[in-house]
Amino acid sequence: MKARVAVVGGTGQLGTDVVKVLRAGGDEAISLSHADIECADLESVRAALGSLRPEIVINCAAFVRVDECERRPEDAFRVNAIGALHVAKTCAEIDAVCVHISTDYIFDGQKGEPYTEEDSPNPLSVYGTSKLAGEYSVRAACPRHFIVRTSGLYGAAGSSGKGGNFVETMIRLAADGTPIRVVSDQVLTPTYAKDLAQKIRELLRTNAYGVFHIANNGGCSWYEFAGAVFRLLGLRPDFGPTTTEEFGSAARRPAYSVLAHVGLRQVRLENLRMWSEALPAYLMEKGYLNSAHGPKGLRVER
Protein backbone atom coordinates (compact mmCIF):
# COMPACT_ATOMS: atom_id res chain seq x y z
CA MET A 1 0.00 0.00 0.00
CA LYS A 2 1.37 3.41 -1.00
CA ALA A 3 1.51 6.17 1.56
CA ARG A 4 1.63 9.97 1.67
CA VAL A 5 4.74 10.79 3.71
CA ALA A 6 6.13 14.14 4.85
CA VAL A 7 9.88 14.09 5.51
CA VAL A 8 10.94 16.85 7.88
CA GLY A 9 14.57 17.69 7.19
CA GLY A 10 14.10 16.14 3.77
CA THR A 11 17.10 17.91 2.26
CA GLY A 12 19.54 16.68 4.92
CA GLN A 13 21.83 13.67 4.93
CA LEU A 14 19.29 11.02 5.95
CA GLY A 15 16.22 12.87 4.71
CA THR A 16 17.52 13.00 1.15
CA ASP A 17 17.88 9.21 1.02
CA VAL A 18 14.54 8.66 2.77
CA VAL A 19 12.78 10.75 0.12
CA LYS A 20 14.55 8.89 -2.70
CA VAL A 21 13.76 5.45 -1.25
CA LEU A 22 10.11 6.27 -0.62
CA ARG A 23 9.60 7.68 -4.10
CA ALA A 24 11.37 4.71 -5.68
CA GLY A 25 8.93 2.46 -3.82
CA GLY A 26 5.93 4.35 -5.14
CA ASP A 27 5.11 6.39 -2.05
CA GLU A 28 4.26 10.08 -2.23
CA ALA A 29 7.20 11.62 -0.37
CA ILE A 30 7.07 15.34 0.39
CA SER A 31 10.46 16.83 1.29
CA LEU A 32 10.30 19.64 3.85
CA SER A 33 13.38 21.81 4.34
CA HIS A 34 14.05 24.26 7.16
CA ALA A 35 12.56 26.95 4.95
CA ASP A 36 9.30 24.97 4.78
CA ILE A 37 8.95 24.11 8.47
CA GLU A 38 10.47 25.39 11.72
CA CYS A 39 10.23 22.56 14.23
CA ALA A 40 10.87 24.83 17.20
CA ASP A 41 7.71 26.81 16.31
CA LEU A 42 4.56 24.81 17.00
CA GLU A 43 2.41 26.98 14.74
CA SER A 44 4.85 26.54 11.86
CA VAL A 45 4.69 22.77 12.33
CA ARG A 46 0.90 22.80 12.51
CA ALA A 47 0.62 24.97 9.41
CA ALA A 48 3.01 22.88 7.33
CA LEU A 49 1.76 19.43 8.31
CA GLY A 50 -1.87 20.47 8.68
CA SER A 51 -2.02 21.64 5.08
CA LEU A 52 -0.31 18.51 3.73
CA ARG A 53 -2.28 15.98 5.80
CA PRO A 54 0.30 13.19 5.46
CA GLU A 55 -0.38 9.70 6.74
CA ILE A 56 3.20 9.44 8.02
CA VAL A 57 5.71 12.05 9.17
CA ILE A 58 9.41 11.14 9.31
CA ASN A 59 11.33 13.66 11.41
CA CYS A 60 14.97 13.75 10.27
CA ALA A 61 15.58 17.28 11.55
CA ALA A 62 18.16 17.57 14.34
CA PHE A 63 20.97 19.65 15.78
CA VAL A 64 23.75 17.11 15.22
CA ARG A 65 26.94 19.04 15.91
CA VAL A 66 27.80 17.13 19.08
CA ASP A 67 30.55 19.37 20.42
CA GLU A 68 28.68 22.55 19.58
CA CYS A 69 25.70 21.27 21.57
CA GLU A 70 27.88 21.60 24.68
CA ARG A 71 28.30 25.31 23.95
CA ARG A 72 24.71 25.84 22.80
CA PRO A 73 22.51 23.62 25.00
CA GLU A 74 19.44 25.80 24.54
CA ASP A 75 19.61 25.39 20.78
CA ALA A 76 20.20 21.64 21.10
CA PHE A 77 17.08 21.20 23.24
CA ARG A 78 15.08 23.63 21.13
CA VAL A 79 15.55 21.44 18.04
CA ASN A 80 16.13 17.93 19.40
CA ALA A 81 13.57 17.95 22.23
CA ILE A 82 11.04 20.77 21.77
CA GLY A 83 11.08 20.40 17.99
CA ALA A 84 10.51 16.66 18.32
CA LEU A 85 7.60 17.34 20.68
CA HIS A 86 5.99 19.78 18.24
CA VAL A 87 6.20 17.31 15.36
CA ALA A 88 4.85 14.42 17.46
CA LYS A 89 2.05 16.52 18.94
CA THR A 90 0.97 17.66 15.50
CA CYS A 91 1.10 14.09 14.21
CA ALA A 92 -1.34 13.09 16.93
CA GLU A 93 -3.62 16.01 16.03
CA ILE A 94 -3.77 15.05 12.34
CA ASP A 95 -3.79 11.28 13.02
CA ALA A 96 -0.43 10.65 11.37
CA VAL A 97 2.26 8.14 12.32
CA CYS A 98 5.35 9.85 13.74
CA VAL A 99 8.81 8.47 12.92
CA HIS A 100 11.55 10.00 15.05
CA ILE A 101 15.28 9.49 14.39
CA SER A 102 17.44 9.11 17.51
CA THR A 103 20.99 8.09 18.33
CA ASP A 104 23.34 5.63 20.01
CA TYR A 105 24.65 8.60 22.04
CA ILE A 106 21.78 8.16 24.50
CA PHE A 107 23.92 5.36 26.03
CA ASP A 108 27.00 5.76 28.23
CA GLY A 109 29.08 3.03 26.58
CA GLN A 110 29.77 1.10 29.79
CA LYS A 111 27.90 -2.08 28.86
CA GLY A 112 30.69 -3.44 26.67
CA GLU A 113 28.34 -5.35 24.38
CA PRO A 114 25.66 -4.29 21.90
CA TYR A 115 22.82 -2.26 23.37
CA THR A 116 19.27 -3.52 22.97
CA GLU A 117 16.13 -1.42 22.81
CA GLU A 118 15.41 -2.39 26.43
CA ASP A 119 18.71 -1.14 27.89
CA SER A 120 18.52 1.90 30.14
CA PRO A 121 19.86 5.10 28.58
CA ASN A 122 22.42 7.27 30.33
CA PRO A 123 23.66 9.99 27.95
CA LEU A 124 27.04 11.63 28.56
CA SER A 125 26.56 14.78 26.50
CA VAL A 126 24.12 17.62 25.89
CA TYR A 127 23.49 16.16 22.45
CA GLY A 128 22.66 12.71 23.82
CA THR A 129 20.49 14.18 26.58
CA SER A 130 18.57 16.40 24.15
CA LYS A 131 17.94 13.46 21.82
CA LEU A 132 16.73 11.31 24.70
CA ALA A 133 14.38 14.10 25.77
CA GLY A 134 13.08 14.08 22.21
CA GLU A 135 12.39 10.35 22.47
CA TYR A 136 10.40 10.82 25.66
CA SER A 137 8.46 13.68 24.08
CA VAL A 138 7.51 11.58 21.07
CA ARG A 139 6.39 8.66 23.23
CA ALA A 140 4.21 10.95 25.35
CA ALA A 141 2.70 13.00 22.55
CA CYS A 142 1.95 10.52 19.76
CA PRO A 143 0.64 6.98 20.39
CA ARG A 144 1.48 5.78 16.87
CA HIS A 145 5.23 6.30 16.75
CA PHE A 146 8.45 4.68 15.64
CA ILE A 147 11.64 5.75 17.38
CA VAL A 148 14.63 4.69 15.29
CA ARG A 149 18.04 4.80 16.93
CA THR A 150 21.02 4.68 14.62
CA SER A 151 24.79 5.15 14.77
CA GLY A 152 27.63 6.88 12.89
CA LEU A 153 25.49 8.02 9.97
CA TYR A 154 27.02 8.88 6.60
CA GLY A 155 25.25 9.45 3.30
CA ALA A 156 25.77 10.82 -0.18
CA ALA A 157 24.05 14.12 0.58
CA GLY A 158 26.32 14.83 3.54
CA SER A 159 25.24 16.55 6.73
CA SER A 160 24.62 20.27 6.25
CA GLY A 161 25.20 20.78 9.95
CA LYS A 162 28.59 19.08 9.82
CA GLY A 163 29.75 20.20 6.39
CA GLY A 164 29.80 16.69 4.96
CA ASN A 165 30.36 13.48 6.88
CA PHE A 166 33.19 11.46 8.42
CA VAL A 167 34.08 9.64 5.19
CA GLU A 168 34.24 12.84 3.18
CA THR A 169 36.31 14.51 5.89
CA MET A 170 38.85 11.68 5.83
CA ILE A 171 39.13 11.84 2.03
CA ARG A 172 39.55 15.61 2.08
CA LEU A 173 42.23 15.53 4.79
CA ALA A 174 44.13 12.83 2.90
CA ALA A 175 44.00 14.85 -0.31
CA ASP A 176 45.20 17.97 1.54
CA GLY A 177 48.15 16.12 3.03
CA THR A 178 46.98 16.94 6.55
CA PRO A 179 48.25 14.57 9.29
CA ILE A 180 45.25 12.54 10.41
CA ARG A 181 44.72 11.23 13.94
CA VAL A 182 41.50 9.35 14.66
CA VAL A 183 40.26 8.00 17.99
CA SER A 184 40.69 4.26 18.40
CA ASP A 185 38.86 3.89 21.74
CA GLN A 186 35.31 4.67 20.59
CA VAL A 187 33.57 1.64 19.06
CA LEU A 188 30.31 2.00 17.15
CA THR A 189 28.68 0.94 13.89
CA PRO A 190 29.04 3.34 10.95
CA THR A 191 25.72 3.34 9.11
CA TYR A 192 25.06 4.06 5.44
CA ALA A 193 22.07 6.41 5.14
CA LYS A 194 20.66 4.63 2.08
CA ASP A 195 20.57 1.30 3.96
CA LEU A 196 18.85 2.95 6.91
CA ALA A 197 16.30 4.65 4.68
CA GLN A 198 15.37 1.38 3.00
CA LYS A 199 14.88 -0.35 6.35
CA ILE A 200 12.74 2.51 7.66
CA ARG A 201 10.41 2.03 4.69
CA GLU A 202 10.16 -1.68 5.48
CA LEU A 203 9.50 -0.93 9.14
CA LEU A 204 6.63 1.40 8.28
CA ARG A 205 4.79 -1.50 6.67
CA THR A 206 4.73 -3.45 9.96
CA ASN A 207 2.67 -1.01 12.06
CA ALA A 208 4.70 -2.40 14.98
CA TYR A 209 5.08 0.88 16.82
CA GLY A 210 7.86 1.36 19.35
CA VAL A 211 11.64 1.71 19.61
CA PHE A 212 13.97 0.11 17.07
CA HIS A 213 17.73 -0.02 16.66
CA ILE A 214 18.68 0.18 12.98
CA ALA A 215 22.35 0.35 12.03
CA ASN A 216 24.66 -1.58 9.76
CA ASN A 217 25.93 -4.80 11.35
CA GLY A 218 29.19 -5.23 13.20
CA GLY A 219 31.30 -2.74 15.07
CA CYS A 220 34.57 -0.87 14.66
CA SER A 221 36.40 2.12 16.05
CA TRP A 222 36.48 5.41 14.19
CA TYR A 223 40.18 4.65 13.54
CA GLU A 224 39.34 1.29 11.96
CA PHE A 225 36.61 2.91 9.87
CA ALA A 226 38.98 5.58 8.58
CA GLY A 227 41.56 2.90 7.81
CA ALA A 228 38.98 1.00 5.74
CA VAL A 229 38.24 4.15 3.73
CA PHE A 230 41.92 4.67 2.98
CA ARG A 231 42.52 1.03 2.04
CA LEU A 232 39.58 0.92 -0.34
CA LEU A 233 40.68 4.10 -2.07
CA GLY A 234 44.38 3.28 -2.13
CA LEU A 235 45.19 6.37 -0.06
CA ARG A 236 48.35 6.53 2.05
CA PRO A 237 48.08 9.64 4.22
CA ASP A 238 49.98 10.42 7.43
CA PHE A 239 47.49 8.47 9.51
CA GLY A 240 47.53 7.12 13.05
CA PRO A 241 45.42 6.41 16.15
CA THR A 242 44.78 8.64 19.10
CA THR A 243 42.71 8.41 22.29
CA THR A 244 39.56 10.24 23.25
CA GLU A 245 41.48 11.98 26.03
CA GLU A 246 44.24 13.10 23.68
CA PHE A 247 41.76 14.27 21.04
CA GLY A 248 40.11 16.52 23.61
CA SER A 249 36.57 16.94 22.25
CA ALA A 250 34.19 19.22 24.13
CA ALA A 251 31.50 16.54 24.42
CA ARG A 252 31.90 13.15 26.07
CA ARG A 253 31.07 10.22 23.82
CA PRO A 254 30.31 6.57 24.68
CA ALA A 255 33.32 4.27 24.43
CA TYR A 256 31.14 1.46 23.07
CA SER A 257 27.78 2.11 21.41
CA VAL A 258 27.19 -0.75 18.99
CA LEU A 259 23.45 -1.37 18.66
CA ALA A 260 21.75 -4.78 18.77
CA HIS A 261 18.78 -5.29 16.46
CA VAL A 262 16.38 -7.20 18.69
CA GLY A 263 13.38 -5.16 17.60
CA LEU A 264 13.89 -5.92 13.92
CA ARG A 265 14.08 -9.64 14.64
CA GLN A 266 10.87 -9.47 16.63
CA VAL A 267 9.00 -8.04 13.64
CA ARG A 268 10.77 -10.49 11.29
CA LEU A 269 12.84 -7.95 9.41
CA GLU A 270 16.43 -8.70 8.45
CA ASN A 271 19.32 -6.71 9.88
CA LEU A 272 21.26 -4.39 7.64
CA ARG A 273 24.43 -5.66 5.95
CA MET A 274 27.85 -5.40 7.58
CA TRP A 275 29.34 -1.92 7.78
CA SER A 276 32.33 -3.23 5.82
CA GLU A 277 29.99 -4.12 2.93
CA ALA A 278 28.07 -0.85 3.07
CA LEU A 279 31.16 1.37 2.87
CA PRO A 280 32.22 0.23 -0.65
CA ALA A 281 28.62 0.75 -1.80
CA TYR A 282 28.75 4.32 -0.55
CA LEU A 283 32.10 4.95 -2.21
CA MET A 284 30.71 3.60 -5.49
CA GLU A 285 27.62 5.79 -5.17
CA LYS A 286 29.88 8.81 -4.76
CA GLY A 287 32.03 7.79 -7.71
CA TYR A 288 35.20 7.09 -5.75
CA LEU A 289 35.19 3.38 -6.64
CA ASN A 290 34.23 1.43 -9.72
CA SER A 291 32.16 -1.75 -9.58
CA ALA A 292 35.29 -3.84 -9.03
CA HIS A 293 36.07 -1.83 -5.88
CA GLY A 294 39.02 -0.19 -7.60
CA PRO A 295 39.89 3.43 -6.80
CA LYS A 296 39.09 5.88 -9.56
CA GLY A 297 42.03 8.24 -9.67
CA LEU A 298 42.24 8.94 -5.95
CA ARG A 299 45.71 8.30 -4.65
CA VAL A 300 47.71 10.16 -2.06
CA GLU A 301 51.23 9.03 -1.25
CA ARG A 302 53.28 11.17 1.12
**156-189 core/surface letters (b: 16 or more CB in 10 A; e: else):** bbbbeebebbbbbbbbebbeeeeebbbbbbbbbb
Q: Which of 51, 20, 69, 32 is nearest to 249 (CA)?
A: 69
* pLDDT over threshold 70, residue 299: no
pLDDT at residue number 290 = 78
- Torsion angle of the four alpha carbons 136, 140, 141, 146, in this order, in degrees rounded to the nearest 10: 60
pLDDT digits (tens, 9 = 90+) for 232-251: 999 999 999 999 998 888 89
Distance separating alpha carbons of residues 187 and 50, to the nearest angstrom:
41
Which runs of consecutive H residues, i.e. helices, occur in the chain? 13-24, 42-52, 66-71, 73-77, 84-94, 126-141, 166-176, 193-204, 222-233, 244-247, 262-266, 275-285
Average pLDDT, the chain: 93
| Residue 127 known to be catalytic | yes
pLDDT at residue number 162 = 56
pLDDT digits (tens, 9 = 90+) for 169-226: 999 999 999 899 999 999 999 999 999 999 999 999 998 999 999 999 999 999 999 9
pLDDT at residue number 302 = 33
Mean pLDDT of 47-61: 96
pLDDT at residue number 300 = 40
Greater pLDDT, 297 or 239: 239
Distance separating alpha carbons of residues 193 and 207, to the nearest angstrom:
22
Give the DSSP letter of residue 121.
Answer: P
pLDDT digits (tens, 9 = 90+) for 102-157: 999 999 999 999 999 999 999 999 999 999 999 999 999 999 999 999 999 999 98
Show contacts of 72-75: CB within 8 Å, 24+ apart.
73/126, 73/130
Distances in whole angstroms, Cα of residue 216 to Cα of each of 149, 220, 259, 264: 12, 11, 9, 12
Based on its alpha-carbon atoms, the radius of gyration of the chain, rounded to whole angstroms, reads 19
Q: What's domain 4-157+190-219+258-273's superfamily in CATH? A: NAD(P)-binding Rossmann-like Domain (3.40.50.720)
- pLDDT > 90: percent of the chain: 88
- Catalytic position from the list 105, 115, 127, 282: 127
Mean pLDDT of 272-288: 95
Contact between residue 38 and residue 44 where contact means Cβ atoms under 8 Å apart: yes
> Taking the domains of the chain in order of start, what are their residue ranges?
4-157+190-219+258-273
pLDDT at residue number 294 = 54
Which runs of consecutive H residues, i.e. helices, occur in 66-125? 66-71, 73-77, 84-94
* pLDDT over threshold 50, residue 301: no
Contact between residue 92 and residue 50 where contact means Cβ atoms under 8 Å apart: no
User: pTM of the predicted model, to two decimals?
Assistant: 0.93
